[in-house]
Every structure is written in structure tokens, then in C-alpha cells.
Amino acid sequence: MKNVMFVCEHNSRRSQMAEGFARILGEGKITVTSSGLTINEVDPMAVEVMSEIGIDISQQTSKPLDKFNPENYDMVISLCGCGVNLPESWVIREVFEDWQLDDPTGESIETFRRVRDEVKERVVKLIASLS
């Protein structure tokens, strides 16, 4: 089983959605955590758009990356382009990807839904690549 870290600047939207999708869609295939370079509250709009499709992320919390050991992760996925700001020990894992998805902060619910769907598509492909 692969250990995956989803990381984003604030760990409040995209990485939280990715964690929610991966927990459900990757059950039995991966273990998953999300974190941020800084922490923030999980965005209520992210919780809402995930709830619309039956995934509850309301109990997830924002966690700082520096509380984790990179050696415990096989795969590191940046969702916001913050990969350039990560310590080298994180980007030299077995797999490192930087998805650079749009930040829906301050945007409409439709934008949150679009980003949610993009996150799902990427997570599905990631899980499929493990087969």
C-alpha cells in the first residue's frame, strides 16, 4: 500500500478535497494525508461541494507539513504549484507531482465545483496508475 501526501499552501481547499476523494476511492490501495506550508481552517465551501457528492470532509483539519516525516511517504502531490517551495526531502520521494490546480478562494460555488471535479479526475488517475 502506498502512502500519499497531498500538500497545498494553506491545506484548506484543494488538498482537503484530494484527501477526501483518496480516502474513499483509494480505500485498500493507499493511505492518505494532506498538509500545508501554512495552516488554515478547512474552507466551508470545500466542505459543501464535497458533501454535494456524498463525501464528508467536515471532520478533516488543516495540518502543517513540518509535522510529518517525508520518509513516511511514497508519493507527494502538490495541488497548487507550491512544489517549488517544498523542502527537497519532499520532492525526492518515489513519486512527486505538481498538479497546479486553480485556487477557488473567493470564487463562486460553480468554480469550487469545477475545481472539485478536476481534483477527482486527478485522484482517479493517480489511483489507477497504482494498478
Please report the DSSP string for 27-56 in residue order. Answer: TTTEEEEEEESS--PPPHHHHHHHHTTT--
Q: Considering 18, 79, 80, 127, which one is annotated as catalytic? A: 80
Helical packing angle, 14-25 and 44-51, nearest 10°:
30
Please confirm, yes or no, whether 8 is among the known catalytic residues.
Answer: yes
Q: Considering 7, 8, 55, 119, which one is annotated as catalytic? A: 8
Retrieve residue 91's grid coordinates.
520532492
Catalytic residues, by residue number, are: 8, 80
